[in-house]
Amino acid sequence: MAKRKAKAGEDRRPDFEEALGETFAEHVSPPVPFESATPQECCEAVCSVAGDDLTPARLAQLSKVEVAAIAQEFAEQFECKAPSTRKIKAAIAQTLARWPVGSLGEET
């Protein structure tokens, strides 16, 4: 049964990553240029700090230092001013509202 749950989560991972990218794109622009902030690029910026195996549980556990590092990653990747940590936290909260902890079958 655990394998089935894990498989179901993996099947939905692209949907989670797309939702994460869309949500971050909405929240970090401005200062990130709207036309540059594609969902894929935003997802990559978050995962470069939080890890490629990002889940809702991991997203919920990000530290203040990691949140600040994500903001800085957006600045570096998009060559602009860093979005505020408040914007990053809002994007995290909105992503978790769409994809709550455990929705990918991950351990909580």
pLDDT in tens, 35-53: 888 999 999 999 999 999 8
pLDDT cut 90: percent of the chain above it: 79
Supply φ then ψ for residue 92, to 5 degrees. Answer: -60, -50
Residue bearing the bigger pLDDT, 5 or 64: 64
- What's residue 108's pLDDT? 65
Whether 40 is in a domain gets the answer: yes
Owner of token pair 């997802």: 43
Supply φ then ψ for residue 34, to 5 degrees. Answer: -55, -45
How far the first Cα of the chain sits from its last, in Å, is: 17
pLDDT exceeds cutoff 80 at 104? yes
Whether 22 is in a domain gets the answer: yes
Q: Determine the distance from the C-alpha atom of residue 39 to the mean position of all C-alpha atoms in its chain, rounded to a whole number.
A: 10
Full-model pTM: 0.88
Range of the structural domain that residue 9 is part of:
2-98
Whether 24 is in a domain gets the answer: yes
pLDDT exceeds cutoff 80 at 16? yes
Whether 15 is in a domain gets the answer: yes
- Overall number of domains in the chain: 1
